[in-house]
Chains A and B, each alone.
Chain A
């Protein structure tokens, strides 16, 4: 492990968490008038993937992609304007939180229909392969998506067509408020990939160093072999499925379940990763203020022109 690398990762995770904290601060004021699916507690994977993507790689996210969009963006303004559904947003306010994109970084768009981006990523991967580009397509989806037919179809397609696609399963164990044991009898998601001959890795936020190095290995494998790979990453959703609050009061889970995930959280472990707690807090405070200022500036931008309603339909 190199200290610089992890210092950078801690800062990136901090930045995204503070971005989401600002969304939490502002949400009550109704400046964001759309559903938000926060990434709090699940930032690390997006940070690592953004680090591994090279120019020309492509990624398909989903409705919970604030972390990915922020990790990839050089300029946050189009993303913030999109969250605020303002003119100048990356999609002119027509997409919003659930359909963010960072086109210049290969994040074309995201879908709010669970699993539906996975087949699209297969086609993107085949396009990259047909171009002989040595580029990689990534797709991020949750454990709920595994229960969607098109995801299982996509695993077969990626294997059969031998596509340069990295399946990234963010396994937080929950589909909205329904725990996994009510939804499936599948014990090990990587069995699915293995059954189709797809190389797979079983990773967890509880082992961040292994997560970081094995994810890099998986990406190298896809790039070098122009073949699919599958990583399952165990993680935990700290906030309610949609919205900005905790939901321990609902009774479908207990905060005690979260304790192991707080314990392994890299911000909580920043000391061992090369950043003192006080430095981390100071950095968090500083970026929180920066992001808040950016949101307030963006709140003053104009709404989309109503005559743009029909633009881009065809």
Chain B
């Protein structure tokens, strides 16, 4: 926003005292209330509004406090934003970013916890990005407008306190490498990258090492990078942050098989139900480090008991009310 005064950020509550979980703290004061402003609820029309601003040369960022509300914007994203460039033969571009924040825990339940990356990634003309690490997040926002593509960024709230080293990339990351290893390839999405890292750290003590890739560009993942890794390790675990039916997890597995991959495959994702509110049910709804470690051991044909990993601190410590 400092570098380009055409960048503006809007959405319900962006300039309220909570400043979108602190991510926009001080923005109205620093960049002006005309560049960081509150709106009516109207997710549908405000998405069209962002498209209109983009048509006029602005670089709007529309923020949703919960990804679940993206469905109210789906018509504008899919029928309008994704079609604008194509129906104008590339003449009119739509540099528009939608930030959608996925919640978890404290009974976020069925409608405050969803991640729709696989649904939106089905649509040509839209780009869905899902950063897992601080570096991913930095490179996504630093570079996303340069491509002038309508972009939905799925942020996971449980990652907000995750600190790390930023490596400027000069472009939007596609598949980013979390670890290099020998025994299996792991592809993970969003908060599942952190959960997976906990599992691989525990398994490192048993001598296993993994090629761990986080998938950032869900719409156009670099299959060659993943293929090279699985060709080397011969084993793949995909840990998705979503339901597995018609998912990016299964889509990538299919792409790898179509390219000739013949190794072992396992996939993990949400249980095949809406997300329950009860904590004990929610715990079994998501893959957790214990389950990921167990599946990795199976995949790598390791005998014995999997390590016991305590519940992730950001989940254990999370208190509401929101």
Stretch at the interface among B18-26, B49-57, B184-192: B49-57
- Residue-wise interface mask of B (38-82) relative to A, using a CB-CB cutoff of 8 A (1 in contact, 0 not): 011010111111111111111010000000000000011001100
A126 touches B53 (CB 8 A): yes
Question: Chain A residues near B80 (CB, 8 Å)?
Answer: 111, 113, 116, 120
B88 touches A314 (CB 8 A): no
Question: Chain B residues near A311 (CB, 8 Å)?
Answer: 89-90
B58 touches A121 (CB 8 A): no
A109 touches B58 (CB 8 A): no
What count of chain B residues pass the 8 Å CB interface test?
39
Question: Chain B residues near A128 (CB, 8 Å)?
Answer: 56
A92 and B87 CA atoms in complex are apart in Å by 8
Contacts A116-B76, A123-B54, A131-B56; is A109 near B92 (CB within 8 Å)? yes
Flag whether A149 is at the interface (Cβ < 8 A): yes
Flag whether B149 is at the interface (Cβ < 8 A): yes
8 Å CB contact of A120 from B40, B48, B58? B48
Within 8 A of B (CB), among A88-143: 91-92, 94-95, 99, 101, 103, 108-109, 111, 113, 116-128, 130-131, 137
Contacts A103-B91, A109-B92, A119-B76; is A154 near B86 (CB within 8 Å)? no
A313 touches B48 (CB 8 A): no
A130 and B125 CA atoms in complex are apart in Å by 27
Interface residue SS majority, chain B: helix
Contacts A123-B56, A153-B42, A156-B42; is A118 near B92 (CB within 8 Å)? no
Flag whether A251 is at the interface (Cβ < 8 A): no
Flag whether A160 is at the interface (Cβ < 8 A): yes
B78 (CB) vs chain A CBs: closest residue: A113
A157 and B42 CA atoms in complex are apart in Å by 8
Interface residue SS majority, chain A: helix
Question: Chain B residues near A130 (CB, 8 Å)?
Answer: 34, 56, 58
B34 touches A314 (CB 8 A): no
Contacts A91-B88, A127-B58; is A313 near B47 (CB within 8 Å)? no
Question: Chain B residues near A113 (CB, 8 Å)?
Answer: 75, 79-80
A108 and B58 CA atoms in complex are apart in Å by 15
B51 touches A123 (CB 8 A): yes
Which residues of A are interface residues toward B (Cβ below 8 A)?
58, 91-92, 94-95, 99, 101, 103, 108-109, 111, 113, 116-128, 130-131, 137, 149-151, 153-154, 156-157, 160, 311-314
Known: A103-B92, A118-B48. 17 other contacts (CB 8 A): A91-B88, A94-B86, A94-B89, A95-B87, A108-B92, A109-B92, A111-B79, A113-B80, A117-B48, A119-B45, A120-B52, A125-B52, A127-B57, A130-B56, A130-B58, A157-B39, A313-B125
Task: Give 26 A-B contacts (CB < 8 Å), ordered by A residue.
Answer: A58-B56, A91-B88, A92-B89, A95-B88, A109-B84, A109-B87, A116-B76, A118-B48, A119-B44, A119-B47, A119-B48, A119-B49, A120-B48, A120-B49, A121-B52, A122-B49, A122-B52, A150-B42, A150-B44, A150-B76, A151-B45, A153-B44, A153-B46, A311-B89, A314-B125, A314-B149
The 9 closest A-B pairs by CB, nearest first: A123-B52, A127-B56, A119-B48, A153-B45, A312-B90, A153-B42, A119-B45, A123-B49, A124-B52
